[in-house]
Amino acid sequence: MLHRALTQARRHTHPIDLIYGIQTSGFVPNFLTDPGLNIFKIGLRENNHYAGCQPSCVRIALRSLPDTAQFTFYDLGCGMGRALITASEFPFYKLIGIEISGELCAIAEKNVQKISDLFPGRAKISIDRADVTTTQLKGGKIVVFMYHSFGRATIGILICKLEQLAIAGSSIFVIFENPVNGDLVDQSIYFKRWYAEQVPCDPDELNHHSDTDDGVVVWQSINTVNLYESRCSDFNIITTKPTWRAEIVFEEK
Ligand SMILES: C[S@@+](CC[C@H](N)C(=O)[O-])C[C@H]1O[C@@H](n2cnc3c(N)ncnc32)[C@H](O)[C@@H]1O
C-alpha cells in the first residue's frame, strides 16, 4: 500500500520537484508511515499524514526573518524534505529534518543528496529518523518549522522543549504553516508573535494543494534582542476545519 501511495504521488509532480529533480509530491496517510499506528487508530491523529508544504509560504516566512546565517533550521516532521530544501535557498548554518517514517527518511535522504550535488555552496542538510517527542533540539540560534505535522499533545510537548531552550538563552523562531493548535504557542509566555498572514500560494502550486492559501505564523522567543513589536498579534488563528485547517483572520484589538 505504501509503495502504491508513493507511485501515485509521482504522477502529480509539484513544481519544486520539477525545478530540482526531487521527489516530494503526493499524500501518504499516517497509518502507512508510522509503524505504531494502524488504520483503526488514525482518528487519534497525533502523527499527521505526509503532504509537502507550499514553498511559497515557507519563503514568505523566511523572508520575514532577520539574518539567519548563524541559525540552524529544524523541520519537525520533515517528510520527504520539501521544506528543508526550500529553506536551503536561504543562508543557514545547517538544516536538520526529523522524521518518524523510515520510508520517508530514505526518500528525503536521496532528495537532499541531489541538492548538495547541485548546490555544494548551500548549508548541509541532514535527516534524522526519530520521533520528535523524544528528540533533543540543540542550538543557540534555531528556526523551527512545522507544517501541520502533529496533534495537540505533541505540539504541547514540543513547546515545553522549546521553552526550556529559550530559558537556557537560545534565540528561537517558530514558523508554523497551517497552524492548527497554534494557540498553544500563543499561550506560551516565552514566545511572542513576529509575523502572521494568510498567504496566497503561488499560481503554479494551486493544482497541488486543497486550498488557495495557507495560514503562516512566526513566533520569536522573548529573550531575542530587538524584540519586534508589530500588529501581527491582531491576527487571530481561527480553526476552520477541526484538526485539519487553521486560517489567519485580522481582528483589530
Ligand atoms: C504534513 S507532513 C509535513 C512534511 C514537511 N514538513 C513539509 O513541510 O514538506 C507531516 C510529517 O510529519 C511526520 N511526523 C508525524 N509525527 C511525527 C513524530 N512524532 N516525529 C517525527 N515525525 C513525525 C509525518 O510522518 C509526516 O511526514
User: How many A from CA of 50 to the centre of ligand 1?
Assistant: 6
Query: To test the ligand 1 pocket, which listed residue (17, 27, 48, 214) has its Cβ within 8 A of the most ligand atoms?
Result: 48
Q: Compute CA distances 197 → 132, 155, 234, whole Å.
A: 26, 21, 10
User: How many A from CA of 144 to the centre of ligand 1?
Assistant: 13
Nearest CA to ligand 1 atom 8: 53
List pLDDT tens digits, range 15-58: 999 999 999 999 888 877 766 655 555 555 688 889 999 999 99
Work out the end-to-end distance of the chain between its first and last CA atoms, rounded to an integer number of angstroms: 50
The reply to whether ligand 1 has any atom less than 6 angstroms from the CB of 50 is yes
The reply to whether ligand 1 has any atom less than 6 angstroms from the CB of 154 is yes
Three-class secondary structure of residue 252 per DSSP: coil
Q: Are 203 and 56 in contact (CB under 8 A)?
A: no
List pLDDT tens digits, range 166-190: 999 999 999 999 999 999 999 999 9
pTM of the model: 0.88
Nearest CA to ligand 1 atom 18: 131
CA distance 196 to 176: 10
CA distance 253 to 239: 19
The predicted pLDDT at position 123 comes to: 98
Q: How many CB atoms lie within 10 A of CB 188?
A: 18
Cell representation of residue 44: 487519534
Q: Are strands 171-177 and 141-147 parallel, antiparallel or unpaired?
A: parallel
CA distance 32 to 106: 15
| Domains (range + CATH), the chain | 53-250 (3.40.50.150)
User: How many A from CA of 116 to the centre of ligand 1?
Assistant: 22
The predicted pLDDT at position 235 comes to: 74
pLDDT averaged over 10-residue windows placed end to end, the chain, 253 residues: 59 90 92 64 71 96 97 98 98 97 96 98 97 93 95 93 94 97 94 95 80 93 58 76 85 67
The predicted pLDDT at position 35 comes to: 62
Q: Are strands 235-241 and 191-200 parallel, antiparallel or unpaired?
A: unpaired
Atom of ligand 1 nearest to the CA of 34: 25
The reply to whether ligand 1 has any atom less than 6 angstroms from the CB of 108 is no
The predicted pLDDT at position 208 comes to: 76
The predicted pLDDT at position 86 comes to: 98
User: How many A from CA of 91 to the centre of ligand 1?
Assistant: 23
